[in-house]
Chain A
């Protein structure tokens, strides 16, 4: 008769160790991410002011939020900022990547120059651009001193134009990174496809328009997701560059949420604005992550 070999403690432990190792991270994420999201959602239905209260007021905060002019300003601003930021970063990034891919002498020098801004914090970027764009000491004055007396660039002081200075600084910070993503995509394209297209008689322009750019679709998607996510979260850059001003001209949802929650003591409204931000990001990220995970699995 056959006897069963003994299955020892260590073998049983091996079955459980992986889960034990993963458990703390998972628990912490469940609590600090998903628990907190639920907490904030709950708060958005309460009359919390300076401190969390648990008096439920239904959709009152959302009604108030959407009636606030500040919130509308923030929404218009994020729409302008996000669309320009995403479009310009993508165009600049793609153009630089394609140009750098033309056997450029000095690519090794240019690439780090394009990329280094991404190592800086938005506070540093904001500080640098704040003074660079300041008409009193920055670009405008330099032009005047060089003899271009009529040069005028006062966007940062102009309520209607200040939001575009945020676009300029944000593009400066991130477009190099987008360039790197596209460059990696370009270098990953199978050479034989390009050779075949050239033998088929495609010109450079046709080659890029018909073959290369369609093949870069995954890079476009990644760039879009990363940029839109950065745009919706943007907070520090506005604080450092314009402080939300002039007046409230450059208010974004992120700065709105912070000031309503922590300085104006309207926690309920602050929470409801945070929920709106989460919903916006989730609408972009969930389909993307879902398709990515499905593909890899």
Chain B
């Protein structure tokens, strides 16, 4: 290859490379930002996506903060712990949203957007915690109301003179009381299981432990729910017995006997 050919090759190479640079420069660099600019478009899309996701999370967190503030049966310390976690996460997400809104270049925005999945790891722990605590509070409130109903039923059952009806009603009252007690124990246990959990921070061992704890608490919740429904069914049986008894009317019988309402 002579010198002339080498020079020609270099020249062609130079022209091609310059063309590539020219094409590339129409998309990035110091060109004015317009809506047609792919970088601007990507910036807007990612910004909108990030803002939407953060807003959804913040709405959910705020809903739980309102709900948890109204809980009655959960201890102040337990309420305070979960409220603090929720407020901290809300603060982090809010600061991230402010930063994302202010971002003007895609590289920074992408870096900030990557913080959302990181906060999601915390979100995915705190939100089930808040849901479990909310459930437990309602379950404990229902159990307390059932205990009051139990007292009323006890008085009514004691006044029954028909031994068979009384015995059956008492059995159901025992079931009622036992199920209420079991439900309370399980609801409280569910809260105790999840209240001390900390975000895993990417540690797989902690992540597994957290997931196992949440599942365990979830199982307790399901059992508490089933206990309360069993208690409700037992109360229904007692009410049926009481109602049937009071509906026995005085009826003239052929032998002159009558069946009177009992008690």
Chains A and B belong together in one complex: no
Question: Measuring CB to CB, which residues of chain A are less than 8 angstroms from any residue of chain B?
Answer: none
